[in-house]
Amino acid sequence: MKKISFFLMACTILFSCTTTETKKTEKKVNDFAIIIHGGAGTILKKNMTEEKEKEYKAKLEEAIRVGYTILQNGGTSQDAVIKTIQVMEESPLFNAGKGAVFTNAGTNELDASFMDGKTLNAGAVAGVTDVKSPIELAVKVMTDSEHVMLSGKGASTFAKEKGLEIVEPSYFYTERRFKSLERIREREKTELDHDDKTAAFYDSDIKNAKFGTVGCVALDKNGNIAAGTSTGGMTNKRWGRIGDAPIIGSGTYANNKTCGVSSTGWGEYFIRSQVAYDISAQMEYQNKTLKEATTDVIQNKLTKLGGTGGVVALDKNGNMSFEFNTAGMYRASMDDDGNLVIKIYKE
């Protein structure tokens, strides 16, 4: 009889603990929400003018309010992500769309991806040179083709067939980004031996030549999560290099069971770590909270591997997380009460 009583007591305690944990992870904090980033890196207040800081904050606010208004009015997370990212793609402040960095060949090659948390469907493009909005094209790949990723000329042909806006490559030219390329080229010519170019480049200049990617995650009133990421890649990139931004599971991931994630940083490490998916997987299989998962992946796994950058993430209950291991990350969020948070530096 005592054994039976002890067994029942143990079951009661176990059930109580399980219920407590379930309540912790299933508590609803926002009916809808949106979170964005404009890149992470060596962003220090001492290097930022007051005018430039205001400019970045104003653009972040403009972008997130566009998506927030869509969500507030009952629109979809997909529309909110697209329209929000397009605001940043059209700004020369960020390394995406209009402000894309230059390749070693002096061209702009754009990458983007999108994922729908309800269906787990996704679309992505890489190496695009003449499509005004890469994020819009990524969504088109998802909705209007049987594929997940298109690249280069094929992606451009698809965009034309679908009636997306095509621009001359010169549309993406900005003096600021071109001068960045020239500085790296000059350094390679004057300071490096031919045999050491690649190693030294990746060890030094690349650390500040890969940031500026933009991304957005949104949760709508129907409980659907969407995530998107758009980038110009890495300054001075060669050989058709593709980073994490268009890779589902690395730069972008969304699942209504768990969360949505958009990444920014040194893409090679994010690909090797499958950063975006790992956050979702830890939540699904280890019952971690969003904060626990993002902290482990960025501050533990990614950092130990040698990667730098960060993520913005939003879970199915409206919890939000900014997580990065760099000096700063352009970022903003809004909850269903309209509370706006805009930050740049590490705090």
Q: Where are the alpha helices (DSSP H) in the chain?
A: 2-26, 50-72, 77-89, 134-144, 152-161, 175-191, 197-203, 267-273, 275-286, 290-295, 303-305
Q: Which residues does the annotation mark as catalytic? A: 213
Count CA atoms within 13 Å of residue 78 on its CB side. 16
CA distance 133 to 97: 6
Nearest to 336 by CA among 188, 223, 176, 183: 223
Nearest to 318 by CA among 266, 245, 259: 259
Phi, psi of 115 (to 5 degrees): -140, 140
Q: Which residues of 161-195 are buried (b: 16+ CB within 10 A; e: fewer)?
A: eeebeeeeeeebbbeebeebbeebeebbeeeeeee
CA distance 279 to 67: 24
Instruction: Using only the alpha carbons of the chain, give its radius of gyration.
Output: 21
Contacts of 11 (CB under 8 A, 6+ apart): none
- Give the count of beta carbons closer than 10 Å to the beta carbon of residue 279: 30
Tokens representing residue 136 in the block: 């819009």
CA distance 38 to 93: 9
- Give the count of beta carbons closer than 10 Å to the beta carbon of residue 216: 35
Tokens representing residue 264 in the block: 């920014």
